[in-house]
């Protein structure tokens, strides 16, 4: 699915009003408030607002050209006889067009001339009369563009849902740009989530990766939730992006290095980075790497790594918690975690209040619940709750 599309400009919807001098004088200063322009609300994901019915009689009337009271002319010469009320019900654009609400003193319009191909208008009419329209990989982009232009909300939602269901590493970056242009905030956020969770596969498979703007790349690489096994993967992605056009992109090298959690890498790997030709040509990069190397080799326990970006570990994508159990022949109160991405076990600084074994564990809304258990002497009939985010 190719999303390299030509984007249309979205006209400003901000209205300006000019008061006459007489009106300005009669209006008290306290009541002349400046209101901020309204942001366009995201409508790309279906909302549950109650059942919507498309009576079969509508499709029957359309098929037989009965009771039609309007005509749509397309740019390719295609003509459709329509029911203005039905189109107006699914589109504020068509309602304004047929009722001539812009020119209030003019009679209602019965003819609409649209700058759109006939096969697209056919799809929009399919939705208006039946609530369904055929969406496929080869038409979703252009269909969403015209659904947005003619304000057919239902088709916008169907297109965004289709795109979301077809997110893949090779097209997710294009879909991000696609969603951003059409103000599909929900779709954009889900696309970003997909990029974070599938970053390693994206770098390997996506031809769109090297076409990213530097700002977008830095935003992705700086994310605490970026799902990578280690920072070597992040460095390799920077190398791949810069190698696409070294003369133009090497100027961003220092900014990109600062997005990598270099402090979590070994000093040996930092020294390998220093030998890269482009690094050798960039004194600021060399100085930055020396600073990182010094901090790694001479670590200060008083330094809070959370506040130092290049030292701060990323948030694991999946973590397994092992609470209590048997150790050395008796119940334990230890809490251990396994980072599936880094492939290592860590002993939590927090412990359960009492040792326990043979208990049940379950999670709900980010909390871990421990049910029952046995401490070696007593069987419990209580439930304890553990919040891993605040160790409580």
Q: Hey, where are the domains in the chain?
A: 42-166, 212-311, 319-386
Residue with the bigger pLDDT between 152 and 342: it is: 152
What is the pLDDT at residue 34?
46
Give the span between the Cα atoms of 350 and 337, in whole angstroms: 11
What is the pLDDT at residue 45?
58
Looking at domain 42-166, its CATH architecture is 2-Layer Sandwich (3.30)
Total-model pTM: 0.64
> Residue 88: CB partners within 8 Å, gap ≥ 6?
94, 95, 98, 99
3-state secondary structure of 391: coil
What is the pLDDT at residue 90?
92
* Percent residues over pLDDT 70 in the chain: 82
Polymer length in residues for the chain: 392
Looking at domain 212-311, its CATH architecture is Alpha Horseshoe (1.25)
> In this structure, what are the phi and psi dihedrals at residue 259, rounded to the nearest 5 degrees?
-85, -15
26 vs 19, 23, 34, 124, 205, CA distance in Å?
Answer: 10, 5, 17, 49, 66
> Residue 13: CB partners within 8 Å, gap ≥ 6?
40
Give the mean pLDDT of 120-125: 94
* Percent residues over pLDDT 90 in the chain: 40
User: 111-114 and 344-356: which strand pairing?
Assistant: unpaired
- The DSSP symbol for 229 reads S
For residue 155, the surrounding DSSP H or E stretch is helix 153-165
pLDDT digit string (tens) for 248-284? 999 999 999 999 999 889 899 999 999 999 999 999 9
Give the span between the Cα atoms of 120 and 295, in whole angstroms: 60
């Amino acid at each position: 699915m190719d999303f390299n599309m030509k984007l249309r400009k979205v006209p400003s919807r901000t209205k300006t009003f000019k008061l006459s001098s007489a009106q300005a004088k009669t209006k008290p200063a306290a009541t002349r408030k400046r209101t901020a322009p309204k942001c366009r609300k995201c409508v790309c994901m279906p909302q549950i607002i109650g059942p919507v019915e498309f009576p079969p009689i509508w499709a029957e009337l359309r098929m037989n050209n009965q009771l039609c009271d309007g005509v749509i002319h397309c740019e390719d010469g295609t003509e459709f006889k329509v029911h203005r009320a039905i189109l107006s019900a699914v589109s504020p654009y068509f309602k304004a067009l047929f009722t001539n609400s812009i020119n209030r003193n003019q009679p209602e319009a019965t003819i609409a001339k649209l700058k759109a191909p006939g096969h697209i208008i056919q799809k929009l009419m399919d939705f208006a009369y039946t609530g369904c329209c055929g969406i496929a990989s080869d038409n979703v982009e252009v269909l969403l563009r015209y659904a947005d232009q003619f304000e057919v909300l239902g088709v916008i939602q169907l297109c965004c849902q289709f795109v979301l269901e077809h997110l893949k590493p090779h097209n997710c970056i294009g879909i991000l740009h696609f969603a951003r242009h059409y103000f599909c905030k929900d779709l954009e956020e889900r696309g970003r989530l997909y990029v974070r969770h599938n970053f390693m596969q994206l770098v390997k498979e996506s031809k769109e990766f090297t076409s990213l703007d530097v700002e977008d790349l830095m935003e992705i690489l700086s994310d605490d939730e970026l799902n990578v096994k280690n920072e070597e993967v992040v460095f390799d992605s920077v190398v791949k992006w810069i190698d696409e056009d070294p003369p133009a992109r090497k100027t961003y090298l220092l900014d990109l290095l600062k997005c990598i959690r270099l402090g979590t890498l070994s000093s040996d790997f930092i020294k390998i980075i220093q030998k890269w030709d482009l690094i050798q040509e960039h004194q600021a990069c060399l100085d930055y790497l020396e600073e990182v190397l010094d901090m790694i080799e001479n670590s200060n326990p008083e330094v809070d790594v959370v506040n130092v970006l290049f030292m701060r570990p990323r948030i694991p994508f999946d973590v397994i918690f092992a609470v209590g159990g048997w150790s050395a022949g008796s119940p334990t109160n230890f809490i251990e975690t396994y980072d599936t991405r880094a492939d290592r076990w860590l002993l939590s600084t927090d412990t359960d209040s009492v040792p326990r074994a043979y208990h049940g564990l379950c999670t709900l809304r980010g909390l871990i619940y421990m049910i029952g258990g046995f401490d070696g002497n007593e069987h419990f009939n209580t439930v304890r709750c553990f919040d891993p985010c605040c160790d409580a």
